[in-house]
Structure 1
């Protein structure tokens, strides 16, 4: 774990808030799906959230507060009583606040320590131990940090290493474990709404875990996520959308975009009655070539993707 710091936690929190945009309670309710009455109850009755106040007394929430709301919801969905969530957050919150502002080398050292524990369990093909470490990481960090900064970098590292005997088997073991756990979480947080968002790999080069995690990052949006299988023909996406009638089609890729990607996407969007969005590393790499088109780019970072999708669906963000 990161070493202690001489900066007081309240000061750390204040400095963190200065760097973040603040949201009114109605916007937090839209972003999280938790109504304002519940948000106020979590604050007054349990002290779970402490938003800042304007001079007139209106509540303002930072992105850190929003992530905490989602964390609270996650614990409740896992069967933890709301009255007990505060004790869990009290153990994990200082680490999450510190991770945003303490020196990067200390944060990275903590990530590496967790990765080493995951690697040890994977090398032993010990699913019980891996499940234990996986749970401990989730009790210490929010979802986006767990995957973006700890698990996926190790997953990619193992994927690139094929020289030594057994390394392919280790990657397959970790990949299978993560895919099953992400699917479990998707089922847990699935929002059964009439509106649907289709999430699909851009091409067959995309790994299934990339698509699953993208869907997980976006799953807090007030629409049901529907995943299409790897190998879905690009030319038949129009057919699928005609029958499903989604609000948006999201194509996922972490590979460098092909030279003709912008042309293919611009042609596809003309045949759709829904928004076409690109997510993953390819989104950032193709953003310039898609400027001025009807294709939206969500980026490759969990919280940013979720916020942009919400804005796209509400019609508040230009492509």
Structure 2
């Protein structure tokens, strides 16, 4: 008998501790129990706790790890390399400030309500939820920890019937809100230019990166998706930003370090790299004039501020 079939229902005490049996993790993530066990045994990607009888129990953090693994695999990273990426991301993540230290269950509750509104294509309810979340949490939490994970989840399952339409509905909603926030935040300032490597991210990911990089001291101007890489030197010459940040959420090609180095030589401002690719290529760019900002909101903003202040080595 398989573990999925033999695991007893979670008791009230387990629910309070936010521990879930493997069948429930499989249901909410779409990952087969056999695959979950392989990720644990073969690659050490997740480490669930065990009951006295040996059944696996997963925390909310474990479920988020499963979703992160899926996201990396979706971007073309082999499962054998995901462990190193997750370990690095975990090591460099900054602790959240006290005012955003909320339990994952609170975020999960908001996400469940968002999923319900999206499934019903209820724009009015989604707008109300967006306003309520924004009045409760900082911008970074709103996008990075609550809304975007739902967007990513729908994106991963967009081949299922109805999911593609749901993703498009939420994607259009969030792009409009992120663009609105960017316009309010920049007010014409272009201290830093942000552009995507062609074909390396979706528009929402680029807009959210702009929101997370910006601050009261730094205005971020986001260039349109599809900006030609070969014309960036000309754009920077006219705008005269303090720095150009390239964004990529795709595994870097072998030729990318040389390509970035050539671009850096053409620019009259520093070149930085942000997004998932920054973590994957950081070792290859060490010692070059190109700085890597990472892919986590708090870290990206802090590293950008340090770089502009002359305190971040490349």
TM bracket, shorter-chain basis:
0.5 to 0.7
1:130 aligns with 2:114: no
Q: Verify the 8 A CA contact 1:182 1:216 in the aligned structure 2.
A: yes
2:241 match = 246
- Equivalent positions of 1:75-86 (< 5 A) are none
**Unpaired segments of 5 or more residues in structure 1?**
5-61, 66-92, 100-106
Between the aligned partners of 2:245 and 2:216, the Cα distance in structure 1 is 13
CA deviation map 1:148-203 (0-9, x unaligned):
2221111111111133322111101100100111111112222544x521111112
Alignment match, 1:304: 299
CA distance in 2, matches of 1:247, 1:209: 24
The answer to whether residue 309 in structure 2 is matched with residue 276 in structure 1 is: no
8 Å CA contact retained: 2:206, 2:247: yes
CA distance in 2, matches of 1:290, 1:170: 39
- Root-mean-square deviation (CA, aligned residues, Å) is 2.2
TM-score, normalised by the number of residues in structure 2: 0.66
Q: Identify the residue that residue 186 of structure 2 maps to in structure 1.
A: 190
**Partner SS for 1:200:** strand
Shift of 1:132: 0.9
Partner of 1:262: 257
- Counterparts of 1:196-235 in structure 2, within 5 Å, are 196-220=191-215, 222-235=217-230
CA contact (8 A) 1:221 1:306 kept: no
TM-score, length-normalised on structure 1?
0.65
* Aligned residues between the structures: 223
> Aligned equivalents of 2:279 and 2:152: distance in 1?
19
- Alpha-carbon separation, structure 2, partners of 1:113 and 1:288: 38
The within-5 A match list for 1:1-319 is 64=97, 93=99, 96-97=100-101, 99=102, 107-193=103-189, 196-220=191-215, 222-319=217-314
Cα offset, 1:3, TM superposition: 7.5
